Amino acid sequence: MKRLHFSLVALACLTTAWSVAAQDDTLARNLVATCANCHGTDGHAVKASGMEALAGADAAKTLQKLHEFKSGVRPTTVMQQIVKGYTDEELALIVGYLARQK
Amino acid sequence: MDDRRRSFIRRAGAAALAGALPTYAGRSSAATRAHVLVVGGGFGGATAARYLRLWSEGLVEVTLVEANREFVSCPLSNLVLAGERELADLSFAYDGLRRRGVRVVHDTVIALDPVKRAVGLLGGERIGYDRLLLAPGVDFAYEDLPGLQAAPAREHVLHAWKAGPQTLSLRRQLAAMPDGGVFAITVPLAPYRCPPGPYERASVVAAYLKAHKPRAKILVLDANAEIVSKKGLFGKAWAELYPNLIEYRPNCELRDVHAATRTAILDFEQVRADVLNVIPNQRAGELARLAELRLVNQRWVDVDWRSMESTSHPGIHVVGDATFAAPAMPKSGHLANQQGKLAAAAILELLAGRSPSPTPVLTNTCYSFLDARNAVHVASVHRYDAGQKTMLPVAGAGGLSVARNEFEAKIAAAWALNIWADTLA
Ligand SMILES: Cc1cc2nc3c(=O)[nH]c(=O)nc-3n(C[C@H](O)[C@H](O)[C@H](O)COP(=O)(O)OP(=O)(O)OC[C@H]3O[C@@H](n4cnc5c(N)ncnc54)[C@H](O)[C@@H]3O)c2cc1C
């Protein structure tokens, strides 16, 4: 009886953990879709466009770049304006999702 | 019950019996075998169709009904008028979507039954659906212009505001215009498709005329009180690059047109041109009225921004230019594409019995060319505001180019390649 009880709790925890992760992943996916118009679907930029490929890019490096755009350290034409529309948590989700793309 | 729904239920039943259910993030197979019908394969509808297939990993069936055989991009089409691009470079077949498993039907939806959940096509076919997404773009309010009621008049006085044959015809008119001729463009009252578009057109055609017909003139007859978008950047470019070539007249609402003489009839004045380009008033594509969706100002579809569903018809999603825009949101291909993805995400959640994300985000960037080599942008980020129940621009984000520059002309071309692929590949 006790064992069953335990495994049910474990199962419940697992399910909760899974759905939070799944929700985050969907959120990250949706956020990355807002980048795709310029950077390609899931960060796979069209080669001939000359845009840097973000798919598979190192998360920490991309995040640092985004923060430099945000703070103004790294001057750009449009990214410093767009990045300010996203929270730091969202930027972290975005770079994590991009890094996982092959 | 029509055939499509019958076969939908048959397939769902077969899958349940088979036991080996393809799982889409743990969702039930009946939901994942749903059929979404998309009408209109422009930036909004094509993107939605593509992402519904991508994000459901092929488990949602998608049919796209599009009247035209080819997608022709309005973005960059002003450069075709200037002789800097070929229309063929901006035209794409729907093969990419077919490869993703979208059933693409080239036909026109002429009937819609939201209760039976089915549409009727001009060609006679009837297609049922579980959820419907409409992306019909804009229609022109020709009823405002008696002189353009007849089809021949409309071939004489062009809009070229839907890229395609009209773009090529307007290019021919401009090429045939004598040096010393007048090219007049009329700009409708906002909101209309692509706020900076008319001024981009004036700019790049000016570059063409400056090089090939230096005595020609451009008249911009604007129904609005001032340049609607990127005012400072266009004003500066016109003063510096095209002095005495572009004449801008605000508050010039077009009342009628005399097509034979290419005359624009304004309130107190008639303006004769050698080439007259009338961008008429606009409203949501006819489909919106066919579906009897709630319209704002009798023109634009009112939507719930969390799902892009019509506020009068939940279950019917509408994206792109046809929607009543949220504050500071332009009608752009960029946003139509973004709204297509927002709707795709929401549809998948709803099919799985969950609610769509309560906090959607959309971005916009619109590039405008000032000549073949220089461009400027305007950008914005929009987030859902639960209090005001609409998308609001994020304060402090977005903005304009500091000055026209060659780098952004390259970025604009790169943007086009990537958005075309994100919409159609
Ligand atoms: C000159 C010009 C320049 C522009 N430049 C830019 C730019 O640089 N950047 C930018 O972001 N935007 C730009 N735009 C705006 C952009 O083109 C539009 O905002 C965009 O096309 C809107 O997409 P949509 O899907 O709403 O409509 P559309 O792209 O017009 O697609 C609607 C589709 O629905 C189909 N359809 C309609 N009714 C039916 C029916 N009953 N049955 C079957 N099919 C139907 C039509 O055939 C059409 O293909 C420009 C526009 C113009 C005119």
Q: What is the ipTM metric for this complex?
A: 0.90
CATH number of the domain at B118, please.
Answer: 3.50.50.60
* Residues B238 and B165 grouped into a single domain: yes
In a domain, B383, yes or no: no
With beta carbons under 8 A apart, name residues in chain A contacting B404. Answer: none
Q: What is the pLDDT of residue B27?
A: 42
In a domain, A18, yes or no: no
pTM equals 0.92
Q: What is the pLDDT of residue B14?
A: 32
* Residues B18 and B128 grouped into a single domain: yes
> Is the CB of residue B278 less than 8 Å from the CB of residue B148?
yes
> Is the CB of residue A32 less than 8 Å from the CB of residue A38?
no
Question: Do residue B341 and residue A45 have CB atoms under 8 angstroms apart?
Answer: no
Q: Residue B27: which H helix or E strand, with range? A: none
**What's the half-sphere exposure (Cβ side, CA atoms, 13 Å) at B167?**
24
Q: What is the pLDDT of residue A20?
A: 74
Distance between B286 CA and the closest CA of chain A, angstroms: 28
């010393």: which residue's tokens?
A: B180
User: Which of B247, B280, B313 corresponds to the end of one domain?
Assistant: B280
In a domain, B92, yes or no: no
Are β-strands B246-249 and B217-222 bridged in parallel, bridged antiparallel, or unpaired? parallel
Q: Please, what is the end-to-end C-alpha distance for chain B in angstroms?
A: 34
In a domain, A30, yes or no: no
* Residues B8 and B134 grouped into a single domain: yes
C-alpha gyration radius of chain B: 22
In a domain, A8, yes or no: no
In a domain, A62, yes or no: yes
Q: What is the pLDDT of residue A19?
A: 73
In a domain, B263, yes or no: yes
In a domain, A52, yes or no: yes
C-alpha B359/C-alpha B393 separation (Å) is 13
CATH number of the domain at A52, please.
Answer: 1.10.760.10
| B331 close to ligand 1 (CB < 6 Angstrom) | yes
**B186 to B74, B165, B221, B261: CA distances (angstroms):** 18, 20, 5, 16
User: Which of B280, B311, B338 corresponds to the end of one domain?
Assistant: B280
Instruction: Return residues 41-80 of B near A (CB < 8 Å).
Output: 51, 54-55
Distance between A18 CA and the closest CA of chain B, angstroms: 10
**Nearest beta carbon to residue A85 from set B55, B394, B407:** B394
* Residues B45 and B117 grouped into a single domain: yes
In a domain, A72, yes or no: yes
Say whether the peptide bond before residue B191 is cis (omega within 30 degrees of 0).
Answer: yes
* Residues B276 and B290 grouped into a single domain: no
In a domain, A23, yes or no: no
Q: What is the B158 CA–ligand 1 centroid distance (Å)? A: 17
Tokens standing for residue A69 = 């755009």
Q: What is the B324 CA–ligand 1 centroid distance (Å)? A: 15
> Is the CB of residue B342 less than 8 Å from the CB of residue B384?
no
The domain of A78 spans 40-102
* Residues B182 and B209 grouped into a single domain: yes
In a domain, B288, yes or no: yes
* Residues B114 and B23 grouped into a single domain: yes
Q: Residue B52: which H helix or E strand, with range? A: helix B43-55
Residue type, B254: L
Distance between A78 CA and the closest CA of chain B, angstroms: 7
Q: What is the pLDDT of residue A23?
A: 84
> Phi and psi for B402 in degrees, rounded to 5?
-75, -45
| Nearest CA among B49, B2, B11 for reference residue B32 | B11
In a domain, B253, yes or no: yes
Q: What is the pLDDT of residue A52?
A: 87
Q: Residue B378: which H helix or E strand, with range? A: strand B374-385
CB of B394 within 8 Å of a chain A CB? The answer is yes
Residue segments in chain B with a per-residue pLDDT below the cut of 50: 1-32
> Phi and psi for B221 in degrees, rounded to 5?
-100, 100
Burial of B308 (0-12, 13-18, 19+ CB in 10 A): buried
| Nearest CA among B69, A76, B132, B386 for reference residue B120 | B132
In a domain, B180, yes or no: yes
In a domain, B88, yes or no: no
* Residues B29 and B14 grouped into a single domain: yes
Question: Do residue A81 and residue B398 have CB atoms under 8 angstroms apart?
Answer: yes
Q: What is the pLDDT of residue A16?
A: 52
> Is the CB of residue B136 less than 8 Å from the CB of residue B39?
yes
Tokens standing for residue A102 = 């092959």
* Residues B256 and B311 grouped into a single domain: no
C-alpha B256/C-alpha B141 separation (Å) is 12
* Residues B170 and B259 grouped into a single domain: yes
User: Which of B226, B256, B280 corresponds to the end of one domain?
Assistant: B280
In a domain, A83, yes or no: yes
Residue B263 CB: number of other CB atoms within 10 A? Answer: 18
* Residues B291 and B222 grouped into a single domain: no
Strands (E), B250-360: 256-258, 263-265, 270-272, 275-278, 282-284, 295-296, 300-301, 303-304, 309-310, 316-318
Number of domains comprising chain B = 2
In a domain, B384, yes or no: no
Number of domains comprising chain A = 1
Residue segments in chain A with a per-residue pLDDT below the cut of 50: 1-14, 18
Tokens standing for residue B124 = 């006679």
The domain of B346 spans 3-67+107-140+283-355
Q: What is the pLDDT of residue A55?
A: 97
* Residues B116 and B39 grouped into a single domain: yes
